[in-house]
């Protein structure tokens, strides 16, 4: 079968329906996307109501429009606000975006005497649960919109993980992955990229450098569209634009699923490219050496104000990620194990905060050759 490097749009609504043929077709389409591109769009937002997405994006926009000193009241490296130039990040140049994030929204209801959730019980618990979410007082309804969206992302992810398990005929059945995510440590992150400043003379900016995500699965929503988001599937000749399709959410696999599936599935490199309005005339002849080329002219990359809402899903931090547990679809005599088993928390986002403190490099930094960012 010829490999297609398009980012497909998949309607997953039939997965849980009565029609086994339609359900199997969903599973096949997802499997193909995960094997080839590691990215797919969800028709009809995967069933997430439009108003939830709209409200969460509007709340994020409203927050970013507040004066800086008001935003700084909820500043935090882990949960809360990070201003432009507020931190180091090897993937997203911090001079090009501001960020607000939260983690689990149900921590008021969990059993804090469970060592998993008890910050005094282990460095890992401290890392994930030592801080509460910080909610801004404005705009009105911010917290409600974010919490509803977070919960919708949790249930969409559970559904995707069930589709993934079936697509891989995982040994534990449909709940194989979901079982290791019952106490997940996922982050919801709003990223606002201010308009590019042409006076600084940049021809093309990488708003997000080429990287793979540390997650099992990531789900993105955009205020306007993917605006310069590109993917480079293994084996493809050039970067592909993520298509601008209305009423969708974008799903991509991260490194965790790649390791879990013993490389049967992709954690595909992606980046966000933009050039300041009006700079296109100078490209390609005006491209300074060393600046990545290959931004297709069709992409809406005008360097305008861009906002994305990204759900970085990560399994329980103590879950063992072992490809051999998945079964014969990923490890077999013909396909020997490539990775040792590891605990999820060793490779998740927050682990980088600890790495920073110890002066260790950011795992997400990719070298210019085609090596992976492990």
Ligand X SMILES: O=C(O)CCC(=O)C(=O)O
Residues that bind ligand X (CB under 6 A): 92, 191, 208, 213, 220, 229, 270, 272, 308, 310
Q: Which is nearer to ligand X, 16 or 88 (CB)?
A: 88
> In the bound complex, what is the minimum distance in angstroms from residue 329's beta carbon to Fe ion?
26
For residue 308, the partner it binds in Fe ion, ligand X, none, with Cβ less than 5 to 8 A by kind, is ligand X
> In the bound complex, what is the minimum distance in angstroms from residue 115's beta carbon to ligand X?
30
For residue 319, the partner it binds in ligand X, Fe ion, none, with Cβ less than 5 to 8 A by kind, is none
CA 73 to chain centroid, in Å, comes to: 26
For residue 192, the partner it binds in Fe ion, ligand X, none, with Cβ less than 5 to 8 A by kind, is none
Residue 206 interacts with Fe ion (CB under 5 A): yes or no:
no
Give the Cα-Cα-Cα angle 355, 358, 360 (nearest 5 degrees).
Answer: 55
Stretch that binds Fe ion, among 45-53, 80-88, 206-214, 353-361 (CB under 5 A): 206-214
Q: Using alpha carbons, list the distances in angstroms from residue 260 to 164, 352, 373.
A: 11, 20, 16
Which neighbouring-strand residues pair with 218?
A: 252, 312
Q: Which is nearer to ligand X, 26 or 206 (CB)?
A: 206
For residue 310, the partner it binds in ligand X, Fe ion, none, with Cβ less than 5 to 8 A by kind, is ligand X
Residues numbered 271 to 310 that lie near Fe ion (CB under 5 A) are: none
The single residue among 55, 154, 213, 301 that binds Fe ion, judged by CB under 5 A, is 213
Q: Which is nearer to ligand X, 218 or 262 (CB)?
A: 218
> In the bound complex, what is the minimum distance in angstroms from residue 138's beta carbon to ligand X?
24
> In the bound complex, what is the minimum distance in angstroms from residue 64's beta carbon to ligand X?
13
State how far the Cα of 232 lies from the Cα of 294, in Å rounded to an integer: 11
Q: Which is nearer to ligand X, 265 or 311 (CB)?
A: 311
For residue 163, the partner it binds in Fe ion, ligand X, none, with Cβ less than 5 to 8 A by kind, is none
Residues 6+ apart with CB under 8 A from 187: 101, 102, 103, 311, 312, 314, 349
- In the bound complex, which residue of the shown chain has the CB atom lying closest to ligand X? 308
Q: What is the DSSP letter of 219?
A: E
> In the bound complex, what is the minimum distance in angstroms from residue 211's beta carbon to Fe ion?
6
For Fe ion (CB under 5 A), the number of binding residues is 1
SS3 114: coil
Q: Which is nearer to ligand X, 101 or 344 (CB)?
A: 101
> In the bound complex, what is the minimum distance in angstroms from residue 57's beta carbon to ligand X?
12
State how far the Cα of 224 lies from the Cα of 111, in Å rounded to an integer: 40
Q: Which is nearer to Fe ion, 213 or 255 (CB)?
A: 213
Residues 6+ apart with CB under 8 A from 185: 103, 104, 128, 314, 315, 316, 317, 345, 348, 350
For residue 45, the partner it binds in Fe ion, ligand X, none, with Cβ less than 5 to 8 A by kind, is none
Q: Are strands 306-313 and 80-82 parallel, antiparallel or unpaired?
A: unpaired
> In the bound complex, what is the minimum distance in angstroms from residue 367's beta carbon to Fe ion?
17
Helices within the chain (DSSP H only): 20-36, 50-64, 68-71, 123-129, 142-167, 255-260, 323-326, 351-357
Query: Of 198, 149, 185, nearest to 302 (Cα)?
Result: 198
> In the bound complex, what is the minimum distance in angstroms from residue 270's beta carbon to Fe ion?
6
Q: Are strands 9-10 and 187-193 parallel, antiparallel or unpaired?
A: unpaired
Stretch that binds Fe ion, among 49-57, 212-220, 316-324, 353-361 (CB under 5 A): 212-220
- In the bound complex, which residue of the shown chain has the CB atom lying closest to Fe ion? 213
CA 188 to chain centroid, in Å, comes to: 9
Residues 6+ apart with CB under 8 A from 257: 34, 164, 216, 217, 265, 267
> In the bound complex, what is the minimum distance in angstroms from residue 141's beta carbon to ligand X?
23
Residues that bind Fe ion (CB under 5 A): 213
């Amino acid at each position: 079968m010829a490999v297609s490097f398009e980012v497909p749009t998949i309607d997953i609504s039939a997965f849980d329906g009565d029609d086994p043929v339609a359900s199997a077709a969903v599973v096949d389409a997802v499997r193909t996307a995960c094997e080839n591109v590691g990215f797919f769009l969800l028709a009809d937002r995967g069933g997430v109501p439009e108003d939830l997405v709209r409200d969460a994006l509007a709340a994020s926009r409203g927050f970013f429009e507040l004066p800086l000193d008001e935003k700084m009241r909820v500043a935090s490296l882990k949960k809360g606000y990070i201003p432009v130039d507020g931190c180091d990040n090897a993937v997203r140049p911090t001079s090009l975006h501001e960020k607000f994030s939260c983690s689990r929204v149900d921590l008021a209801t969990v059993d804090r005497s469970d060592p998993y959730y008890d910050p005094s019980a282990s460095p890992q618990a401290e890392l994930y649960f030592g801080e509460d979410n910080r909610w801004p007082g404005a705009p009105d309804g911010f917290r409600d919109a974010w919490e509803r969206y977070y919960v919708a992302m949790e249930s969409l992810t559970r559904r995707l993980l069930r589709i993934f398990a079936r697509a891989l005929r995982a040994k534990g059945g449909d709940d194989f992955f979901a079982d290791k995510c019952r106490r997940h440590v996922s982050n919801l992150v709003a990223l606002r990229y201010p308009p590019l400043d042409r006076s600084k003379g940049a021809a093309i900016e990488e708003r997000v450098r080429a990287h793979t995500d540390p997650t099992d699965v990531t789900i993105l929503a955009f205020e306007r569209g993917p605006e310069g988001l590109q993917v480079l599937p293994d084996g493809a000749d050039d970067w592909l634009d993520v298509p601008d399709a209305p009423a969708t959410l974008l799903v991509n696999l991260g490194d965790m699923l790649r390791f879990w599936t013993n490389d049967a599935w992709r954690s595909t490199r992606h980046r966000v490219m933009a050039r300041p309005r009006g700079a296109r005339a100078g490209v390609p002849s005006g491209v300074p050496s060393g600046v990545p080329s290959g931004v297709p002219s069709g992409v809406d990359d005008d360097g305008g104000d861009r906002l994305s809402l990204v759900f970085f899903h990560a399994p329980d931090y103590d879950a063992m990620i072992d490809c051999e547990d998945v079964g014969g679809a990923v490890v077999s005599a013909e396909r020997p194990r490539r990775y040792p088993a590891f605990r999820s928390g060793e490779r998740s986002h927050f682990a980088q905060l600890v790495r920073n403190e110890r002066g260790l490099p950011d795992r997400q930094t990719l070298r210019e050759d085609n090596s992976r960012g492990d």
